[in-house]
Amino acid sequence: MRRFVFLSLPLLILAMGLFHFALEATGKAPDPSALAPSGGRVLPQWVALATWTLEALGLSALFLLIHARNGLRWVSGLLTGWIAWVFRGPLLVVTVVELADLPPGPWWSMVFEWWILYSACGLLLGAAAAAAGLGPVTNPAPAPLPFPERVREEEPEQEPAEPPASQPVSPPEAPAGS
């Protein structure tokens, strides 16, 4: 598991960095001045790196939680990416558009781009799990119960009232002293 975390963190940080670089290069990055009437400010690069690191750590932990339940690397990765996308995509856009009273059009186009990013991050998590040798999870033996189960006492077998016909029947003994 430790090997998986050491592989997944740099992969996810690199993917997020390349994604944001591509957005800026194509001119699709969000405009910070659109959010603040007094003009937005651009955060320092170390803040972006720190948030990508925190996000990569959260995605890796979520992947491990999902993978422990189903044991399928690629499915766990995609589920992880899509769960994270719900919070980074539609819910974030609804919040930003509502609070800042912005037109929703440009923000909704970013939701699809973020879906691509988080799907790719999920696939990278699956690849990191495969490279780290994180195999399918087998269910361990169930833990013993804290208290032993009550064993039902079996009733002793009763002797039959009449002996079987194949055995000779001895006559009843007469009482002594008669």
pLDDT(116) > 90: yes
How many CB atoms neighbour CB 59 within 10 A? 24
How distant, in Å, are the alpha carbons of 34, 81, 129, 166 from that of 16?
A: 23, 12, 18, 89
Mean pLDDT of 102-110: 78
In this structure, what token pair is assigned to residue 144? 């013993």
* C-alpha–C-alpha distance, residues 60 and 123, integer Å: 12
Q: What is the pLDDT of residue 30?
A: 72
Identify whether the C-beta of residue 98 lies closer than 8 Å to the C-beta of residue 59. no
Helix/strand/coil for 35: coil
pTM of the entire predicted model: 0.69
Lowest model confidence (mean pLDDT) among 11-25, 103-117, 120-134, 162-176: 162-176
* C-alpha–C-alpha distance, residues 121 and 11, integer Å: 8
Confidence of residue 25 (pLDDT cuts 50, 70, 90): very high
> For residue 177, how many C-alpha atoms fall within 13 Å in the half-sphere facing its CB?
0
Helix/strand/coil for 27: coil
Burial of 118 by CB count in 10 Å (0-12 exposed, 13-18 middle, 19+ buried)? buried
Lowest model confidence (mean pLDDT) among 59-73, 102-116, 125-139, 154-168: 154-168
Amino acid present at 166 = S
Q: What is the pLDDT of residue 7?
A: 93
Q: What is the pLDDT of residue 36?
A: 62
Amino acid present at 5 = V
C-alpha of 111 from chain center: 23
How many CB atoms neighbour CB 121 within 10 A? 27
What is the per-residue pLDDT across 46-80, written as a single tens digit (0 to 9) for each?
A: 998 999 999 999 999 999 999 988 888 899 999 99
Confidence of residue 138 (pLDDT cuts 50, 70, 90): low
Q: Roughly how many angstroms between the first and final C-alpha of the chain, as a whole number? A: 90
